[in-house]
Structure 1
Amino acid sequence: MTLTVQFETLLSMIAMGIFFGALLDTYQRFLKRQTRPRVISFFTDILFWCVFGLLIFYCLYQVNFGEVRLYLFLALLCGYSAYQALFKGFYMRLLEQIILTIVNIFLFLKKCFYFLIILPIKLIIKAVITIATIVGQSFLLLAKTTLSLLLWIGKIVFSPILLIWRFFPEKLQKKATNLKEKLAGFFLSIKNKVMNQANRWKK
């Protein structure tokens, strides 16, 4: 390698050391080892080191076609030490601020989604159910009133006929009485169904 390539490689490894410190703190910030099982931490640690190893190899390949020298590891260590001494406090404050901003944006979007989409849908559904209930109760009340009115009119209309009916033969009266009981039972069953349905709507 030429002197220029060596110098570029050295600077790249120092930068990768700084980047490693920031990446490691970010990883530990989101991992939360105290609340996670050790098995998960074990596999995530392996994945972290594999990803960072690939990043280092890719950086070396771009700078010096992947040649590994001993001083490169020292450069990585120097970069990591520089991060710990100079940049860690600033980066951790910046990271917390970024996390807080993202959380606030997410909560804001969540509230907007609720008030602009979920809440109007709930109100529309509630209004439709209320209108349907009122219409159903009104219809059942109208049917109940109409049926009662028809029964009252029927009593008035058939009262003179019942007086005249007493002069008819007894057999014919029995048949008519049976027919009357059947019709009365039929109308009574209809009335009971209407009233039961009306009580259900009221509930």
Structure 2
Amino acid sequence: MSLPVQFYTLLAMIGMGSLFGATLDTYQRFLKRGKRKKWIVFLNDLLFWFIQGIIIFYVLFLVNYGELRFYLFLALLCGFSAYQALFKKIYLKLLESLIQLVKAVARLIYRTFYLLVYKPARGLCILLAAIILYVYGLLLSLVKIVWIMVKWVLKTVFKPFVWILKKVIPESVEKFVVQLRKTIAGYLKGSKNTIIKVMNFFRKKR
């Protein structure tokens, strides 16, 4: 491995060490260990270290085709230490500011959607429902009025015929019809009672 390649590899590993420190702080900021279950924290830690290892090895492969040297681990440690000493406070402030900015933008988008889309759509739906209910009630009232008018017309038209029939049909025939209706009703009631008695009789035989 030539001297320029070694130099570039050293700089790359120092940079990766600093990047690892920033990534670790970002990971800790979003993980919130105290609020998570232990097995979830374990799986997240395992995945984090695996991804970091892949990224570092990929950068190393791009610089010197993946040749490992002992001083490369020292370079990673130096980069991580430099981040902790020089850039950590600045980065955490920037990270927190960025998080707050994203939250503010998300709130703004939500409020804009709520005021410009959701509320008008909701109001329109309520208005349409009110119009439909009003039209339905109006039509129902109209149908009731028409039905009352039809009943009145039919009653008015056929009233003379009913009166004439009452005058034409003898009173004895009217009494006979009433008596026949009572007789049929009594016969049906007696038949019903007879059927019930027969069914109860067969049930007792079982």
Name the TM-score class by shorter chain. 0.7 to 0.9
Q: Which runs of structure 2 are paired with 1:1-203 in the superposition (5 Å)?
A: 1-170=1-170, 174=174
Alpha-carbon distance in structure 1 between the residues aligned to 2:73 and 2:174: 116
| 1:37 Cα deviation after fit | 0.9
Give the AA of the match of 2:26.
T
Once the two structures are overlaid, the 10-residue window that deviates more, 147-156 or 72-81, is 147-156
| 1:137 Cα deviation after fit | 0.8
SS at match of 1:167: helix
Segments of structure 1 that go 5 or more residues without pairing to the other structure are 179-203
Alpha-carbon distance in structure 2 between the residues aligned to 1:172 and 1:51: 107
Alpha-carbon distance in structure 2 between the residues aligned to 1:74 and 1:172: 126
TM-score after normalising by structure 1: 0.77
* Contact 1:165/1:173 (8 A) holds in 2: no
Paired-residue identity, % = 45
| 1:147 Cα deviation after fit | 2.0
* Runs (4+) off by over 6 Å: none
* Contact 1:10/1:75 (8 A) holds in 2: yes
* Contact 1:16/1:79 (8 A) holds in 2: yes
Q: 1:153 to 1:42 in 2, by over 3 A?
A: same
Segments of structure 2 that go 5 or more residues without pairing to the other structure are 179-206
Give the AA of the match of 1:35.
K
Alpha-carbon distance in structure 1 between the residues aligned to 2:172 and 2:32: 95
TM-score after normalising by structure 2: 0.76
Q: 1:59 to 1:167 in 2, by over 3 A?
A: closer
* Contact 1:17/1:76 (8 A) holds in 2: yes
Give the AA of the match of 1:130.
A
